[in-house]
Each structure stands twice: as C-alpha cells, then as structure tokens.
Amino acid sequence: MTTVLVFLDHAGASLAKSERELLSLGGTLGDVVVALAGDADQAYLDGVGSYGVEEVYRPDSGAVSDVLVAGKAAFLTEAVRVSGAGILLLGNSHEMKEIAARVGVRLESGVITDVVALDGDLTATKADFAGSYTVSCRVTTGVTILTVKPNTFEAVEAGLPSAPREVQIPVEIPPAVARITGRTDKPVSGRPELAEARVIVAGGRGVDGNFGPLEDLADALGGAVGASRAATDAGWIEHSAQIGQTGKTVSPQLYISAGISGAIQQKAGMQTSKVIVAINKDADSPVFEIADFGIIGDLFTVLPQATEEIRKRGL
C-alpha cells in the first residue's frame, strides 16, 4: 500500500476543513501519515488520529517556523524520506506551493499545483492559464507532490479520536534563509477563512466603497466576503480579500459575485466554484458568461432583498 504524507501547517485548536479534506483524500490513496510543522495540543493530535493516522512527524526544533518556507521544505523533505511516502499532499496557498516546489527540487520529483480532481492512476485535473484551459497531468518522476484546492474533495466523517505516535525529525535549516522577525495576529472577523468558506460573497468596483450589503448577505449565509482587485486597490477592503490571478484562488460551493465585471484575472481565482451567481446591472457584462444564475440589477437593491428572504426562511 502506498504511504501518503499529508502536510498540516495549521495546528490550531481543531482541524480546519481543508485539513480534513486533505486527510480524507489521502485515505482514498493509501496509508496516511502526517507531517506537522506548528504547535499542536493533544486534542488536535487526537483529531488527526481520528482519520486513521497512526504516525505524525514533527521537526525536532521550533526553528522551522522561524524562517520562511525553507525550514518547512527541509523538514518535509526529511519526512518524505523517513516515511517512504510515494505521495505528498499539501494545501494550495502560495506558501504551500512554494514549499511543494522546494521539496520537488530536493527530491527530484514532479509537482502539480491547483489540483481539483484526481483519478485512480493519479492523473490530476487543474485549470491553467488563468482558467483558459483544463489540464490533465500526472507526475512521472519520483514522489507525486500535489497541492490541492480547498472545497474540491469531500471531507469524510472522522472516526473516534486516537493519539498517533509522534516521530521527531532532525531538521537542518539552510543558512541562507529569510527569517521571520515579527508576527501580528489577524483581526478576528467571525467569518470563515476565504479559502475555506463554502459560501463567498464577492464585490467589485460596483460596490462603490460600501461592502455593507455584501457583509450582511455573507453573515446570513455563514460565508466569507471577497473582492476584485479594483475593490482592494481602491482600499475599500483589505488586500487579503482579493480573489483572482494575483489574489486568492477559491472554490466554494456558492460564489456570489456582485458588481464585478468578470475579467479573466478575476475568473482565474473563482471559476471552479460549484455554483456562481452574478449580480450586475450591465446585461452584457462578461461575468454572465460563467454564471450559473445571473441577475441583471442593482446590487444595492438585489442583495438586501436576498438577505431579508434568507433570514425570513431561516436558511
């Protein structure tokens, strides 16, 4: 049976949804072991164990988290070697992609990013060139290293919590690395992380500085708020909310686009969403080409009506 190494870098109080998805996907491919970079309490480790994971690899020093990517790449390379893994699964953030690339170079192995589907023979599906092409590809050299988009694979129900065995991995941090000199906690919004959210309400230039109606709808649906670059560049919302080619890539179950024209660079970050609803007052807007449902109208009329109806129905 193939050993599948899943890299978890979150280590919060409980497993994030994207982490449960990775563990579930791993379970369909072989025996799952985990490499864990951050601090983790027993409840978190028990959660990992509830996915049938019997072994967790951890770096022998906290130094891997004091430097950017290089430390985690060094740790992960060793974890692959020690575990004998044939498949390595990571999340799909920019950081994870860079770590995957570095591990790929160290192990002379192929890397596929942005994976949205996987066949039994490990043929992966991904969108390329800002979403213009859907590509099927397979790693033919070394370990199969895949970065997997959140919300594309189902997270299975966990079993009973159980403590996995912990294995310390000696890690040598390369001397020429960028060191982290300080950290600031993100303000807590109470909304889900953009990359993790099942529902996203995204606004563009049409919002004209007022994200209030989008936030109301997002809260009614338990979703996150995203934005086009026009909106983040205007300073109406923080840059971390940007979706698209130079922003985040998201694949929620429902993406509500309001006052966004649907430029190719915006589409690149959201077109693998399961259902896309577009609200735009211009009937010729290109966003309607990729929308499953389109509403031609003023977002300041449409969104409050939708929010009111959803709250009334208790959805």
- CB 26, min distance to ligand FAD, A: 30
User: Euclidean distance between the first and final Cα of the chain, in Å?
Assistant: 44
Judged by CB, which is closer to ligand FAD: 146, or 260? Answer: 260
Could you say whether residue 151 binds ligand FAD (CB under 6 A)?
no
Could you say whether residue 10 binds ligand FAD (CB under 6 A)?
no
Give me 249's structure tokens.
């890539």
Is 205 annotated to bind ligand? yes
* Residue 16, CB-side half-sphere exposure with 13 Å CA sphere: 20
Give the closest residue to 97 by CA, choosing from 117, 119, 115, 75: 115
Could you say whether residue 272 binds ligand FAD (CB under 6 A)?
no
Angle at 255 between CA 127 and CA 117, to 5 degrees: 30
Which x/- pattern over 188-207 shows residues binding ligand FAD (rule: CB under 6 A)?
----------------xxx-
Could you say whether residue 230 binds ligand FAD (CB under 6 A)?
yes
Interface pick for ligand FAD out of 109, 266, 272, 307 (rule CB under 6 A)? 266
CB contact burial 56-78 (16+ within 10 A = b; e otherwise): bbbbeeebbbebebbbbbbbbbb
- Asked if 30 and 5 count as a contact pair (C-beta separation under 8 A), the reply is no
Is 265 annotated to bind ligand? no
Interface pick for ligand FAD out of 10, 17, 281, 311 (rule CB under 6 A)? 281
Judged by CB, which is closer to ligand FAD: 45, or 258? Answer: 258
Cα distances from 276 to residues 53, 77, 101, 251, in angstroms, run 36, 38, 31, 10
Interface pick for ligand FAD out of 117, 142, 198, 300 (rule CB under 6 A)? 300
d(CA 2, CA 197): 31
Interface pick for ligand FAD out of 56, 218, 279, 291 (rule CB under 6 A)? 279
Judged by CB, which is closer to ligand FAD: 65, or 228? Answer: 228
- Asked if 280 and 207 count as a contact pair (C-beta separation under 8 A), the reply is no
Give me 158's structure tokens.
């966990």
Element (H, E) at 299: helix 299-313
Is 210 annotated to bind ligand? no
Could you say whether residue 276 binds ligand FAD (CB under 6 A)?
no
- CB 298, min distance to ligand FAD, A: 4
Residues that bind ligand FAD (CB under 6 A): 204-206, 228-231, 242, 244-247, 259-261, 263, 265-266, 269, 279-282, 285, 298-300
Residues placed in the known binding site: 205, 228-229, 242-246, 280
Residues placed in the known binding site for FAD: 205, 228-229, 242-246, 280
